[in-house]
Amino acid sequence: MKATPMSTDRPGAIPKIGEDGRSSDRSVPSPGALHPFATPWPVYLVGSIILLTMLSYWVFPGHLYLYEDTQIYLPMIEHLWDPSVLQRDILATRPHLAFTIYDEVALFLKGLTGLEFREVLTLQQWIFRAIGIFGIYLLARAMKLSLPKALSVAGFLTLGATVVGSGLSTLEFEPIPRSFAFPLILLAMGQIANGRYLAGGVAGAIAFLYHPPIGYPFWLVFLVLVGCACRQPTRKEAILGVLPLICAGAVLFVLSRSQVAMSPPEPLFRRLDPLQEQLQSLLAPYNWISTWPFRWIEHHLFLGTVAGLAFWRLRRSVGHDLRFFLVGLPLVSILSMPASYVLLEKLKWSFVPQFQPMRALVYLAVVTALLTTTAGIKAIEEGRFGEGLLWLLVAFAIPTEARVLHILVPRLSSLAIPEIRRRVVLVMGFALFASVAFRAQGRGKRWAGVTLAACVLAPFFLLGRYGKVNQFAPRNSPELEGLARWARSSTPKDAVFLFPDAGHDIDPTIFRAAALRAVYVDWKSNGQVNFFRDFTREWWRRWQTVSSHPFDPRHLEDYSSLGIDYLVVQPSHHIPGGEVEFENSRYAVYAVKQLNGLVPAG
C-alpha cells in the first residue's frame, strides 16, 4: 500500500488552516511527531489537562467555598431543595435563579447521587475547569502552535487573572454560575476556531443556560461572524451553530416560569427609583464606572492596546473565524464601559445592574493573555528572542498583578512594597525561563521537553508561595462552625437569628449557609439590591432598624416584635440576667422569648 504523505512539513506541526479558518487536513499527528514527548498524543493531551486542572484547584489559583458568592447561592438552592428550610429568610426566599440552570442541575445531581451540594458543585467545578483548559488548547492549536506549545499556552492561561473593577476573575475560585459558563465559552471559541460551528454553538448555548450575562460578548461576535459568512462555503454550518442558542432560550424561558410564583421577574426597562440608585451606587460600585479610579480604566485601555498590537503581529497566523473573536471580544469589552455608563448612570435602566455588561472585560484579559503568549512564542520561533521576551513579560504580568502596569512599569514607591518586588522578579524570571524553553524546543534540544514542562509548572508553585498572589484571609472559624452545628441540630427549621453587633462582618452570611437557619438581616446580602426593588426596601428597612447603630440590650422587646427568635452577640455583650442557650469564645446565643420583660441595667 502506498503511504499518503502528510500535509505538514515539520514534526509537531498542526494541519494547515485554510482561509475560512477550517482545517484542510484531518490527519492526526503520529506519536513520533511530538518529539521529545514519546507518549501517544491522546494520552499526553488528556493527562496534561487533568494535571493542569488538579494544579489549578489544589495549588494555584486555588478554590474557595462559602467565601463570597456561594454564601448567597447555597441558601437559595437549599431552600429550593427543602422549602421548609429558611422559609423566613428574605435572601433564600427571593432567589435570582430564574434565568439559569445552575439550580436545576445542582438539584438533579443531588437527587441522583445523594451527595451534598458542596460535593455536587465541586464536581462541576472540576469538569468545567478541564473544559476551559481544553478550549484554550484548541484556540492555541488554531493559531498554528504545536501540541506541546499549545498546552503550554493553556497552562499559562490557567493561572487566571483578576479583572479590575468588575470584581471577576478569568478563573473563578468558587463553584458559581459564571465559573461554569465561562469555560464553556472558551470551548465554544476553540471549536469554532477549528471550523466546528455546531459543537461551538452547543457549548455556547449551555454556557448561556448557566449564566446568560457572561456569554453575550461571545454571541454578539459569533452572530457577526455568521452574518459575514453568508457568501462563504461554510454558511450552512455557521447558521447551524446559532440553532442551539435558540433552543437554549426556549428552555430557559420554560424553566424560568417554574419560579415565577417565588420570584416574579422585574420589568425589563423600569427605571431605578432614588433609593435603588443610592443603595446600588453605594453597595455595588463595580457597576457604576463613574466611581472607578481612572487607573482602573487606564489598565483596561492598556490591555486593549496590547491586544491590538499582538493581533497585528499574529494576523497571518490566525484563521478567518478566529479573527472575529480576537478582534471583536476586546472591542466589545472596551465598549461595555461607556455602554454601562449610558444605560445605568444616565438612563437608569434597572436591568443593567442585573445584567452587568462590564462583565465583558473578562474577555479582554483572556484574549490579551492568549495573544501575548502566542506572539512571544511566534517571535522566538522566528529567532526574535528579545521581542518574544517582551511579549511574555506582559503575558506573565497578567496573572501576577491585577494592574499589570505595577509590574511592567513599577514606580519607586511600588518597589518599596515587598510583594511588588517579588512579583517583578517572578515575572522577569518566568518570561526569561519561558523564552529559553521555547527556543530550545524549537531547536529540538533533548532537554527541551523537561525545560518546557518545568516552565509551565513553576508559576503554579511560586506565584502563591513566593509572590503572595491570591492569598485569601480565612472567612470561617471553628467557633462559627460550632455555632452553626448547634443551631442546625438544636433549633427549629423556621428559627430566625440576628447578629445585632456584627456590623459589616460576614459571619451571619456564612452562618445562614452552614446552619440553614434564617438571618433577619446581614450586610453581605445587600448585593441582592441589584435584582429586586421590594427586596431593596425591605433589606434597608431591616438594616436601619436593627443594625445601623451599636447593639443596645435595653431594646430587647423590639426584637420579639420583629419576629426574631435568637440573638447572637459577642461575649463582651453578655446580657445580664439572660439565660445563655449556647456559648463559645466568640459567640453567645440568647432566646428572645426568654428575654421578654427583662430590662438590663445600664
What per-residue confidence (pLDDT) applies to 248? Answer: 93
The pLDDT of 120-138, averaged and rounded, is 97
Grid coordinates representing 444 are 529540538
Q: Is the pLDDT of residue 480 over 50?
A: yes
Whether residues 435 and 538 share a domain: the answer is no
Q: Is residue 77 part of a domain?
A: no
Whether residues 460 and 499 share a domain: the answer is no
Q: Is residue 18 part of a domain?
A: no
Whether residues 253 and 363 share a domain: the answer is yes
Whether residues 449 and 581 share a domain: the answer is no
pLDDT band for position 265 (cuts 50, 70, 90): low
CA–CA dist 128, 439 (Å, integer)? 32
Whether residues 182 and 319 share a domain: the answer is yes
- Regarding pTM above 0.75, the answer is yes
Q: Is residue 528 part of a domain?
A: yes
CA–CA dist 511, 138 (Å, integer)? 42
What per-residue confidence (pLDDT) applies to 550? Answer: 79
Residue type, 131: I
What per-residue confidence (pLDDT) applies to 81? Answer: 95
Grid coordinates representing 241 are 451553530
Whether residues 499 and 461 share a domain: the answer is no
What per-residue confidence (pLDDT) applies to 10? Answer: 39
Whether residues 414 and 494 share a domain: the answer is no
Whether residues 168 and 197 share a domain: the answer is yes
Q: Of 465, 496, 531, which residue sits at a domain end? A: 465
Cell 484571609, located at residue = 473
The pLDDT of 156-177, averaged and rounded, is 94
Q: Is the pLDDT of residue 73 over 80?
A: yes
CA–CA dist 529, 543 (Å, integer)? 13
Whether residues 445 and 483 share a domain: the answer is no
Give the total number of structural domains in the chain. Answer: 2
pLDDT band for position 6 (cuts 50, 70, 90): very low
What per-residue confidence (pLDDT) applies to 513? Answer: 96
Whether residues 494 and 456 share a domain: the answer is no
Whether residues 200 and 302 share a domain: the answer is yes
Q: Of 403, 430, 465, which residue sits at a domain end? A: 465
The pLDDT of 101-123, averaged and rounded, is 96
Q: Which of 66-70, 192-196, 266-270, 390-394 has the lowest mean pLDDT?
A: 266-270
Q: Is residue 560 part of a domain?
A: yes
Q: Is residue 473 part of a domain?
A: no
Q: Is residue 82 part of a domain?
A: no
Given a contact cutoff of 8 angstroms between Cβ atoms, the answer to whether 592 and 567 are in contact is yes
Q: Considering only CA atoms, which of 546, 590, 597, 599 is closest in space to residue 565?
A: 590
Domain that holds residue 286: 96-465
Q: Is residue 7 part of a domain?
A: no
Given a contact cutoff of 8 angstroms between Cβ atoms, the answer to whether 86 and 79 are in contact is yes
What per-residue confidence (pLDDT) applies to 23? Answer: 43
CA–CA dist 186, 179 (Å, integer)? 12
Instruction: Give the sign of the dihedral formed by CA 356, CA 357, CA 358, CA 364.
Output: positive
Q: Of 465, 492, 520, which residue sits at a domain end? A: 465
What per-residue confidence (pLDDT) applies to 243? Answer: 94
Whether residues 433 and 520 share a domain: the answer is no
CA–CA dist 340, 392 (Å, integer)? 32
Q: Is residue 49 part of a domain?
A: no
